[in-house]
Amino acid sequence: MGEVLSETEWTARRDAHAARARRWTGPHHERRAAGLKHPVLDFLFSYYSHRPSRLERWHPGPGVVLEGDAARAYLRWPVYRETGDGVELDVAAFARERANTVDFARRLLTATASRAPRLGCFGLHEWAMVYRQRPDQVRHDAWPLRLGGAGTDAVVESQRVQCGHFDAFRFFTPEARPRNALQPTRETQVELEQPGCLHANMDLFKWSYKLDPATPSELVVDCFELAVRIRGLDMRASPYDLSSLGYRPVRVETPEGRAEYAREQAAFAEEAAPLRARLVELTGVLSRELVPGS
C-alpha cells in the first residue's frame, strides 16, 4: 500500500491547490467577462486545452490512498477505485486507457532529457509567424510590431532561423518555412525536441495534463507556472511591442538582445529539467502497468 492521507490531510492539500490555481484562473475569467485579450496569458488557456476548472481540480497521483467519506467523490471518475483503506487511483486502468499517450510522452520526454540544450534560435519563431503578413493578418494585431512590417521582415531575412519545434514551426507563414534550417514534422518530433527550446519546456504543462488525473496536481501547476514565465520571455523576444502591458522587450535583433535571450533560455532549461524528470518518472510508473507480470 502506498501513502495514506487522512481526510484532514488531503482536503487541506486539495484546498491549497485550488487556491494556488485560482491565482491564474480568476484573472483569466475576469478578462474573458470583460472581453479583454491578453497576448501573453491567453496562450496558457487557448493554445493549451486544459480548462481552468480542471487546473483547479486536485488529484493525488498514483500510490496515494484518500481516507474518509469525502474521498468517495473521486469515484465519479472511472479510473478511481475504493479499497478497504480508502479511495485511490486505479493505476493499471488509467495506464490501459491512455497507453498511446503514456508511450509517446515517455519516449519524447526521455529523448529530450538526454540532449544538451541548444540556445541559438533567439526566439525567431514568433518573427517567422508574421513574416510578410499584411497588418490585418497578424495574429496579435491589437499590439504594434516594434519595428513595423518591413523591419520585422528584415530581421527574418538577416538572421539564421533554426526552429526545431514542430508546434511552433507549423505556424510559420508559407514564405518563412523555407528559411528555417530545419523542417520539423510530427514524425520527427522525438528526434528533434531539445531542452533549450522554450516551447518544449512550456509543453511540460501539456504533458502533465495529458496524463491527468494520474499526474499529481501540484506537478501540473508547477509546470503551468513555469510555462507562464517562459511565455513571458517568448513574447518579450517577439516582434510585438507589449510595453503597455509591462513586458520589457528583449531585442533579439541586436547582439545584446540575443545574449540576454540565450541567458534566460538557459536558465529556463535548467529549471525545466527536474519537472521533466518527474514526468519521466510518472510515465515509467504507468508504463510498468502495461508490461505483463511487472
Helical H runs in the chain? 7-34, 43-46, 52-56, 91-97, 99-113, 125-128, 148-158, 166-169, 189-192, 198-210, 217-236, 255-288
pLDDT of 294 above 70: no
Tens of pLDDT, residue by residue over 34-74, are 999 999 999 999 999 999 999 999 999 999 999 999 999 99
Cell numbers of 107, please?
A: 519516449
CA distance linking residue 186 with residue 242, whole number of Å: 31
- Total residue count of the chain as it appears in this document: 294
pLDDT band at residue 255 using 50, 70 and 90 as cut-offs:
very high
The residues facing 65 across adjacent strands are: 4, 88
pLDDT of 161 above 70: yes
Tens of pLDDT, residue by residue over 1-10, are 579 999 999 9
Tens of pLDDT, residue by residue over 256-277, are 999 999 999 999 999 999 999 9
Residue 126 has what pLDDT? 96
Q: HSE-up of 242 (CA within 13 Å, CB side)? A: 24
